[in-house]
Structure 1
Amino acid sequence: MGKIAQRIIPHDLEPDVLRLELIDLGDAFRAYQQRTEPNLVLLAELPACAPSFQDSAPH
């Protein structure tokens, strides 16, 4: 493990995979924002809609 800005960085961090996950999460959030009525349950589930970085990391 290394450190960047005093934060511990895992040795198996894959920035490209993380970037794609954040893009997917952003797309899901923007789609949510287009709704006419708020739905807190759906909003809480948005992170589950994006593929998980941990699930896509090699083992």
Structure 2
Amino acid sequence: MTDRVPGIDPKLMEILRAPGTHAPLRYDAEHNELVDDKAGLAYPIRDGIPIMLPDEARTL
């Protein structure tokens, strides 16, 4: 699913899912985002907090 995400508890990453598809997320270290490959969206991480709002997601 993902490698270790800086600032986010690994246990949280195990249960965290994409809001629209409920798919597992992978970490994109280059952009500091959580990626939902199923929906083609990337959610930003700001100050160690994943911003899981569709309006904040970047289309891939």
- TM-score range, shorter-chain basis? under 0.3
**Greater C-alpha Rg:** 1
Higher relative contact order (CA 8 A, sep 6+): 1
- Structure ranking higher in helix proportion: 1
TM-score under structure 1 normalisation? 0.24
